[in-house]
Amino acid sequence: MNIRPSLEEALETAASGNYRVLPVSCEILSDFITPIEAVRVLKKASRHCFMLESAQASETWGRYTFLGYDPRLLITCSAGKTSVTDQDGQTRLPDGSPSDCLRSILRDYAGCRFGWLPPFTGGLVGYFAYDYIAYAEPGLQIKARDTEEFKDMDLMLFDKVIAF
Any alpha helices (H) in 53-140, and if so which ranges?
98-108, 133-136
Largest CA distance in the chain: 57
Q: What is the pTM of this model?
A: 0.87
Reported as a single tens digit per residue, the pLDDT across 38-84 is 999 999 999 999 999 887 766 656 689 999 999 999 999 998 899 99
Determine the Cα–Cα distance for residues 60 and 137; give it in Å rounded to an integer. Answer: 37
Reported as a single tens digit per residue, the pLDDT across 91-114 is 999 999 999 999 999 999 998 889
Residue 118 in this model has a pLDDT that exceeds 70: yes
> Measuring CA to CA, which residue among 21, 28, 36, 41 is closest to residue 1?
28
Higher pLDDT, 57 or 23: 23
DSSP symbol at 99? H
Q: Count the neighbouring beta carbons within 10 Å of the beta carbon of residue 63.
A: 13
What is the CATH number assigned to the segment(s) 2-163?
3.60.120.10
Domain locations in the chain as residue ranges: 2-163
DSSP symbol at 110? -
